[in-house]
Every structure is written in structure tokens, then in C-alpha cells.
Amino acid sequence: MDRVYRIDIDGHEQYALERNGAWSRLDGDLFGDYRPGPALDPAGLRWLSPVAPSKIVAVGLNYRDHAKEMGKPLPAEPLIFLKPPSAMIGPGSPIAIPPGAGRVDHEAEVGIVIGRMARNVRASEASDHVLGLTCVNDVTDRDIQKRDVQYTRAKGFDTFAPIGPAIAIGLDGAALAIGSTVNGVTRQASSTREMIFSLEQVVEFVSRVMTLLPGDVIATGTPPGVGPIVPGDRVVVTVEGVGELANDVVAG
């Protein structure tokens, strides 16, 4: 399995490849044919979000226990919404709570990174269009979400879409541990086995609505245990095989 990172070296964005514990720059096309390049020391690098998507599609209520904790019935089909790319930040960048915000929650999610254009894709063919998996924190202003009913404003603030640290390529997403901590205390601990709609079903559903382009991200829903974050907190989202996505929380 490969892990691919997007990094900043002297103001230039590049991809780094971690393979079998060895680090190198990535040569070739991430979305086509790539290979290890010159050796790379990961110490002291500046980590960016692993992709720059044209859109971030998110799925609501895709874990049975989360629907229960939110007091909502299980959906008959995936509930999807969009988060703007301007909300995206990488690992280590701060989540900024905007002035006047209500309760702001973390939401740990598995992110699907699209590798090949997908339109009207069948679930059985979904893996042919997926590059890999990543961690997403679907940060949400819960009070605004309740007032607005729809999700755009509550989930669209700048910094409300941390993504990273890597894209895990070749990772089977059927039974991955997923969780989150705040200040070292466990908030969420579940498995993708608890999803209502599988990763493949989500790709099929979304691709029937909109064309997915290489680099696009689908956040596939959060397990139970969502909770508030406030300035001074440190929130860490973990997906088995991908790594840890850590962000501090600050006042905006």
C-alpha cells in the first residue's frame, strides 16, 4: 500500500510517496502512472491537504448509530451536500471558529479521493474510479444547521474541511477503524462496517448526480460521538491505514 502526501518545499507544492517505510518524491502523474523519485526526508516538511479538489461532496447520516444520536430516521438513499473547496485546510492548520458561532462540532469521516472521472458509475465498477482514501473532519456549526435546515452555511465556513494527512492507495475500506479524539480524550470510535451505504454505493449514487473529477473528495459520513470543539482544543481524526489528521482550534 502507498501513502501519498502533498507537501510544500520552498514554496513549491509537490507530492511525497511513502512506500514500505521509505520516503521519496513522487515522479510521474498521481492520477496516472507514478513511481518513486529521489529519496526524501519527511522531517520538518510542511504538510498540505493531499489533493486540491474541484468539489467536496459529503454524505449525511451514513452510520446507523449517528442517525440515532441525531434523532433522525435512517435515510432510504444517501443524503448528500457540498462543502466548498475554500473550506479545506491540511493537517496542522488551525480550525477557526467564526465570530458569533454557535456550537461547533467535529465529525470524523473517511474520505474517498477520486482518481478517474466518474459519471453514472455502477457500484461494482467504483473501485476503478477511486484513487484512495483519506481522513476528513466535517466541521459543523450545529446551531446554524438547525436554524437553516440545509447544510451549506453550517458546514461551509473557511477551515471547516480539514483533509489529510495522506491518500492511502490500495486500502480496502470495508472494515476500517475510524475515530476522533479531542485533547487526547476519545470522542468517536467505530468502523466502516457500520455504514448504511458502502463506499462503492456512495460513489455510484453521487456519480449519477454529478460528474466526479480526479482529485474530488467524497466525505462518507460520521459515526456516533460527535461533539463540540472550542478554541484551545486539539482534534485528531484517525482512519485505520491512513493516519492521523490533527488540527488545533482557534478563535476566528
Task: Decide if pLDDT at 89 tops 90.
Answer: yes
Residues 160 and 229 in one domain: yes
What is the average pLDDT across 104-109?
Answer: 98
Residue 79 CA to residue 76 CA, distance in Å, equals 9
One domain, residues 25 and 100: no
> In the structure, what pLDDT confidence band is assigned to residue 73 with cuts at 50, 70 and 90?
confident
| pLDDT surpasses 90 at 9 | no
Q: What is the pLDDT of residues 164-206, one digit of tens each?
A: 999 999 999 999 999 999 999 999 999 999 999 999 999 999 9
Question: Over pLDDT 90: what percentage of the chain?
Answer: 90
| pLDDT surpasses 90 at 142 | yes
Are 129 and 206 members of one domain? yes
Give the containing element (helix H, strand E) for 28.
Answer: strand 22-28
Instruction: Give the CA angle between residues 22, 245, 106 to the nearest 5°.
Output: 165
User: Is 90 exceeded by the pLDDT of residue 68?
Assistant: no
According to DSSP, the β-strands at 22-28 and 34-39 are antiparallel
Q: What pLDDT, on the 0 to 100 scale, is given for residue 41?
A: 93
Q: What is the mean pLDDT of residues 223-250?
A: 97
**Rg of the chain, C-alpha, whole Å:** 17
C-alpha cell, 179: 475515530
Report pLDDT for 97: 98
Residues 168 and 228 in one domain: yes
Percent of the chain exceeding pLDDT 70 equals 100
CA pair distance 132, 11, nearest whole angstrom: 26
| Total domains, the chain | 2
Decide which of 202 and 65 is more confident: 202
pLDDT category at 67 given cuts 50, 70, 90 is: confident
Q: 217 pLDDT band (50/70/90 cuts)?
A: very high
Computed over every residue of the chain, the mean pLDDT equals: 96
Report whether pLDDT(83) > 90.
Answer: yes
Domain end call among 31, 48, 65: 48
Question: How much is the pLDDT for 163?
Answer: 98
* Residue 213 and residue 152 share a domain: yes
Domain that holds residue 55: 49-251
* Whether the predicted pLDDT of 65 surpasses 90: no
- Based on the domain organization, do 171 and 190 belong to the same domain? yes
